[in-house]
Structure 1
Amino acid sequence: MRKRYANLARIRTLDPERDWLEIYQTMLRLEFPWDMKLGLNLAFNRSFSIPAIAAVHTATGELTERTQKRIDDTGLLMYEMVLNGFDQPRGREALRRVNQIHRPYDIPNEDYLYVLGCLVVIPTRWLGRYGWRQPCCHERRATYLFYRELGRRMGITEIPSSYEECEVWFDAYDAAHLTPNDDAAVIERATRSLLLGRIPRLLAPLGNELVSAMYDERLRRATWVATPAWPVRAGLHLALKLRARLQQWAGTQSKRPLFAEGIRTNTYPDGYEISMLGPDSNQAVRRPIA
């Protein structure tokens, strides 16, 4: 059992104000790889569902017509920054590409803040509910500091000053702006394949209901997704809780970090160049988000 908490013990010796990248990398690559990837999937899914943001994405067609490429490009750019930080060559190049994609457009600061809030809050809450252990204060702080730094380097202003303040801002904005809209529904139908791919093959017949059960009621309303039957919701909750308990008591420390052999995607089976990720410049419209 002591070995199971070795990473946590090491994290607690670090200073999140200085070592936030190392802590966040440990969370993603060693402590919670499956949960963090799923949490980030859910975060991006939610960020696409605000009406103003969803309308732009349906206009570009990036998520509805080139779904797999758009999802893979977003994930690759994000993971390159996490794996390499913002000061190493590949991390700098990924950040530069993110800024290049957004620079030509007049994107409201609050739209940026909402996407940032999704990335900070949604995965952390998933870990708090279904992770094999609760994220500690160092991990919450490091998560916030990683995305604060990303936000600053993207020119985002008025970023809340702590994880707790970010959570409060996110909840208030989400309650006011995540409202039912047809564009979000179209995007959700196109992108749910990403979450369906995480359903065990044995449960594939229930895949669509299980994906819907991962959403909270507000997101389901915004995307016109029917509420799954209560046995599906309860069954998913219990299965995830059981998984967490088994991981806590019978799991072992991962010996190979996530992406140790590189990031593999369906779109780029033979590798990729960071400069080629993202939409073609002639496919852009007035206000692309994220």
Structure 2
Amino acid sequence: MNPPPPRDAFAALVLHRRPQRARVGLSLGFVRTFAVPEIAEVLSGTGKLAATPKARAKATGAMMFALIGHGVESPAGREIVAELAAMHRIPGVDEELMRYVLACFTVCPVEFAAGTPAEREAAAAFATDLAAALRLPPPPGPTLAETAAWMREFETARFAPSEAGRALWHAVAPLFAARLPGPLARHAPAFAAALLDAPLRDAFTLPRPPLPLRAAARLAFHLTH
């Protein structure tokens, strides 16, 4: 069997090889944006995410997975790009914020799903295509590792506690239950918090979960395919 074309390897990872892990990673990427006060204010401004977190998070995931699956230049992809471009026109959403959101939605699924070098290369190519379609500057560096490094620098400069960010986190944390084995679903907020790194916990003013819970959370979410 011939290997998939380079850009298709990213779609194969998130849609077929490890879709559940990729969805957890995408959810964590979404959550990362809440730690940037400017983004949190925009997301909370409509009230839709806090009021209907399951529907909004599901819609965001469906949009990104459809874009990854169909491609940026497909008819479906162009419709989604138009929706994303409309977000760019919201007051307060500048180019750097949009680049950060796109980086989160590309880097986080691949990292959580432990993508191969080929899949990471494909994800970087997808991010470049999407940035071009949105008329944004290309992601920093040609590799996903360089984009991830830029993300960390951005987060060091821009992460900060905010009421909007904390409210959004508490609204979406229960949604991680869908990614947990049945008996653990009722503990979804605690398990989800255990997946957060120190900068995110600081932004949401969450205590550091004990080591056994952090280890159990990683195991529980990585048991999914």
Aligned partner of 1:154 among 119, 123, 134: 134
Higher alpha-carbon Rg: 1
The yes-or-no answer on 1:49 pairing with 2:59 is no
The yes-or-no answer on 1:187 pairing with 2:168 is yes
Cα separation, 1, equivalents of 2:92 and 2:16: 38
Gap regions ≥5 residues in structure 1 = 1-5, 129-134, 248-290
Cα offset, 1:233, TM superposition: 1.4
Matching residue of 2:98: 112
TM-superposition CA deviations, 1:28-63 (whole Å, max 9, x none): 122111111111111011112211111222222121
TM-score (norm 1): 0.70
Task: Give the number of the structure whose residues are more often helix, by fraction.
Answer: 2
User: What is the count of residue pairs matched by the alignment?
Assistant: 224
Matching residue of 1:141: 121
Cα separation, 1, equivalents of 2:139 and 2:161: 26
| Compared CA separation, residues 137 and 43, structure 1 to 2 (3 A) | same
Q: Which moved more, 1:191-200 or 1:93-102?
A: 93-102
Cα separation, 2, equivalents of 1:238 and 1:65: 31
Cα offset, 1:186, TM superposition: 0.4
RMSD: 2.2
User: Which structure ranks higher in relative contact order (CA pairs < 8 Å, sequence separation ≥ 6)?
Assistant: 1
Cα separation, 2, equivalents of 1:185 and 1:106: 19
Q: Which amino acid aligns with 2:132?
A: R
| Compared CA separation, residues 20 and 62, structure 1 to 2 (3 A) | farther
TM-score (norm 2): 0.88
Cα separation, 2, equivalents of 1:93 and 1:237: 35
Gap regions ≥5 residues in structure 2 = none
TM-superposition CA deviations, 1:121-180 (whole Å, max 9, x none): 22222133xxxxxx2221111001101111111111152132222122111111221122
Matching residue of 1:40: 26
Aligned partner of 2:56 among 49, 70, 95: 70
Matching residue of 1:233: 214
Matching residue of 2:193: 212
SS of aligned partner of 1:20: coil
Cα separation, 2, equivalents of 1:88 and 1:205: 39
Cα separation, 2, equivalents of 1:40 and 1:108: 22
Aligned partner of 1:23 among 3, 6, 9: 9
Between the two proteins, what is the percent identity of the paired residues? 26
Aligned partner of 1:202 among 178, 183, 198: 183
Cα separation, 1, equivalents of 2:94 and 2:86: 16
